[in-house]
Amino acid sequence: MARGRADPGLFALPRACDLGHWRNEQGSGLLDRWQQGLDGLERWNEGLAQGLLPDDIEAQAPGLRETFDRSAWSALQADGPAKALAAQLAVLAERAGVTRLSLLLPAELGQLPWETLPEFAPERLFLSRAVSLESWLRQRAAIPASALPASTHEHATSARAGGAPASRVLVADDASLPFGTAEEEQALAFHGGAPAIGGTSVLSVLRALTAPGGKHLLMHAVYAQLNPWASYLRVRAPARVAQQPLALTLRADADRDWISELLEQGADNRGRELLAAWIPPVLGVTPDTLTLSACEAARCGADQSGLATPVGLGPALLAGGAGRVIGALWPCNQEAAWLFYRTLFRAAQQAPQAAWYQLVHDARRTLQGLDSAALTELLSEADVAPDWQMRAQAGWIDPKRPSFWAPFVVLGNALGAPGDVA
């Protein structure tokens, strides 16, 4: 869909952009290769999180680190049909005399970082990612009313009725977030308000999501590939969490074990408080801007009927009423998320009338321009444990890699500005 002075009418996609190009039985489609890259990136990050050294990971799975940054990323940047589609959209916008396109991207095409293609640079064209409310409501109707605990409705009603104001910045009660304090401070400096009293819980997150005003959430998130409606935010973790074996496994293999438990109990088998993606939109989401420092928060996927249904965390929040959601399309380094929002919030304070699309684009470019030395110096500001600075010094974290700087996008109204009055 395009908005502007003229009706662009219908146009034909390039012939090469048929469904067989994106996925096929041979596993050679662009989305097949993209998924392989995401799997490799996830396994690499899991290895680091489990304490494995990069050389150990490479020994277990040779070439794993390159499956995303070299193979998948290069496939997108060099893909003829993808480039032809972007060029066709640019021509469409030019003919219509518009500088903004609102796109309802079909199913899994929404996983791709179209904003990194030159056709969608802010000086040429603004891209706003839309969601299909019709198909979302159709999917929502399939969820039985009994699946939502009565206490959740009570929490939402209490939040709307008044009482203590909802916090604008919520950081998960989770020891595995080393940048929590630093990111909370910079988010509060932008959004205002005070830290959540008594820590963060599912209740405080629901209160925040059903109260007006911008919000920032910092917590682990998981996109459930087998059932995107079961994607979740990990709001609280117990003080002691059992160590997982030091082995590289695909998360999808574990999804089957906890999806039903997550939907029924709101917790996984290790006692961690989880907030499933489908719950907040059912209650209604009111913030004009939600910034999510959480892996895969902006990712979406295909539902069983092949519609462009907004399944996943960010798209569901957008469908539930948020004005815009800013987050990552794939699992990102904690260093990258902290630095991205540090850069974004400072730029938004300095240029409150700049469009969020421009600000996010510029923040990505700032991260891309870093080197290991600059990254190490910036990490010293965050007052984190020395081993996190060592990761940058040793080259474990390379800001030049697209996996580091490129995942962050705006869903929804990308043309709005931080200084807009809601």
pLDDT, tens digit, 9 for 90 and up, residues 111-141 = 899 999 998 999 989 888 887 777 666 666 6
Consecutive H or E run containing 182: helix 180-191
Q: Residue 83 falls within a domain, yes or no?
A: no
CA–CA separation, 32 vs 147, rounded Å?
Answer: 33
Residue 32 forms part of a structural domain: no
Place of tokens 């469908």: 319
* pLDDT at residue 319 is higher than 50: yes
Provide the angle, in degrees to the nearest 10, between the axes of the packed helices 334-350 and 180-191.
20
User: Is residue 30 domain-resident?
Assistant: no
The pair of three-digit structure tokens given for residue 193, joined into one six-digit string? 């308000």
Give the pLDDT band of residue 12 (cuts 50, 70, 90): low
Question: What is the tally of structural domains in the chain?
Answer: 1
Q: What is the pLDDT of residues 192-216, one digit of tens each?
A: 877 776 678 888 888 888 888 889 9
User: How many CA atoms are closer than 13 Å to the CA of 136, on its beta-carbon side?
Assistant: 23
| DSSP string for residues in 297-345 | TT-----TT------SHHHHHHHTT-SEEEEESS---HHHHHHHHHHHH
- Cα–Cα distance list, 64 to 26, 39, 368, 416 (Å): 21, 9, 21, 39
Domain that holds residue 186: 132-408
Task: Considering only residues 367 and 14, tell me which one the structure prediction assigns the higher pLDDT.
Answer: 367
Element (H, E) at 234: strand 232-236
Q: Report, as an integer, the average pLDDT of 234-253.
A: 45
- 345 lies in some domain: yes
Distance separating alpha carbons of residues 31 and 10, to the nearest angstrom: 25
pLDDT for position 324: 93
Predicted confidence (pLDDT) at residue 355 exceeds the cutoff of 50 = yes
Residue 350 in any domain: the answer is: yes
Tell me: pLDDT of 246 over 50. no
Predicted model pTM: 0.85
Assess whether pLDDT exceeds 80 at residue 142. no
Find the mean pLDDT for residues 284-301.
Answer: 88
- Kindly report which listed range (131-140, 187-196, 355-364) carries the lowest average pLDDT score: 131-140
Q: Residue 378 falls within a domain, yes or no?
A: yes
Rounded to the nearest integer, the mean pLDDT of the chain is 78
Residue 161 has pLDDT above 70, yes or no: no
Spatial strand order of the sheet with 232-236 comes to 220-222, 232-236, 273-276
Task: Write out the two tokens for 128.
Answer: 């706003």
**Element housing 262 (H / E):** helix 252-265
Tell me if 97 is assigned to some domain.
no
pLDDT at residue 27 tops 70: yes
Pick from 40-54, 123-137, 164-178 the range whose average pLDDT is largest.
Answer: 40-54
Are the CB atoms for 136 and 33 separated by under 8 Å?
Answer: no
Task: Note whether residue 88 is domain-resident.
Answer: no
